Amino acid sequence: MVFSLPDGLPSGRFEQRGPSEVWFSDGLPDDAEELWADLLRQAAVTGLYPHLCWPKDPPRPADPAAADAVRLDEVLAADFAEYRRKRLPFWSDPGPSELPEDVEPWPHGPGPPFERWPGLAPAGPGGGDGPGAEEAAARAVADLLYTEPFAASFVLALVPARRSADVPAVMGWSHGGPLPLLGALLRSWEDRFGARVVAAYGGELHVSVARPPLDQADAERLALEHVLSTADNIVDDPPTPFPEYARELVGRTEWRFWWD
C-alpha cells in the first residue's frame, strides 16, 4: 500500500521493494540537507525514514524480522573464535624484516587484545551536552553531501520501517555482509550508541552516532564488533592495526563501512 507523503517533497515516484513501497526523488533535492533533517524529525510519527542512495543499485529486499532471530552475543562469540583462529598466525608474525627499497611495508597488526569474545561494548554515555540522535544524523548527512565526490548522483528515499536500523533490509541493499547479522548489529548500535543509518550506496554504508564510546577499552570492544560485521575496510583496507582503528572510534560520531 502506497503511503501518504509529507509536504514539501520534490518530484519523485514509488517503487516496489519486496512487500514495501519506497518513494524516491527524481534527483538530489536542492535542499537535501535541510529536507533530510526535517524528515527524520517526523519519522517517529510518519514511520518513514529518509535515506540517501543511488537510484539504480540492484535491490534484494529482505525481511527485517530476520534480525530478530540473531542472538548477537552468541553469533559474535562464535564468529570471533573462527576469525581469531584464522588470523592468529598473522597477528603473531610482524612480517619480513627486509624488503626491497621500493616496497613500503604494511604496518603490523597485532589484532584485538582478546583471547575470547569480550561481550558487546557498553552503551555510550548518555545525557551531557552532546547531540541527540537526530542532530548527529543531520550532521553526518551534511558532511556526506559536502565530502562525497559522488553526492550529486544521490537520490532521497523515504523508507517505511519500524526503525532506522531496518532501512537496509527494506531497501534491499545487497552489497554488504549478511543482512540478518548486519540488521541485528545496526539495531544494537541504535540502542547503545544512538546510531542511525543515513546512507547506503554501492558497497558503502554510512551510520551516524550520537553517543560514541569515550573510553579506550570500550572502543576496543566496539572495534571488534565492527570487524565482525564483515566489512572490508575495518583494519584490512587500507591495512590498519587494530589498536589504531579502535583509538579512532573514541568520540567518533560517523562510522563508514564498505564491502568490496
pLDDT one digit per residue (tens) for the chain, 260 residues: 577 899 899 999 999 998 999 999 999 999 999 999 999 999 999 999 999 999 888 888 889 999 999 999 999 999 999 999 988 887 776 665 554 555 455 566 778 999 999 999 999 987 555 679 999 999 999 999 999 999 999 999 999 999 999 999 999 997 877 889 999 999 999 999 999 999 999 999 999 999 999 999 999 999 999 999 999 888 777 788 899 999 999 999 999 999 98
In-domain check, residue 179 = yes
Q: Are 214 and 250 in contact (CB under 8 A)?
A: yes
In-domain check, residue 101 = no
Q: Name 193's Cβ contacts closer than 8 Å, sequence gap at least 6.
A: 123, 124, 209, 210, 211, 212, 213, 222
For the chain, how many structural domains are there in total?
A: 1
In-domain check, residue 81 = no
Identify the DSSP state of 141: H
In-domain check, residue 96 = no
Q: What is the pLDDT of residue 90?
A: 77
Q: What is the pLDDT of residue 103?
A: 46
In-domain check, residue 106 = no
Please name every residue paired with 21 in a beta bridge, in sequence order, or none if there are none.
16
Please name every residue paired with 249 in a beta bridge, in sequence order, or none if there are none.
none
In-domain check, residue 100 = no
Residues spanned by the domain of 185: 12-68+118-258
| Residue recorded with cell 527524520 | 40
In-domain check, residue 112 = no
Q: What is the pLDDT of residue 94?
A: 64
In-domain check, residue 187 = yes
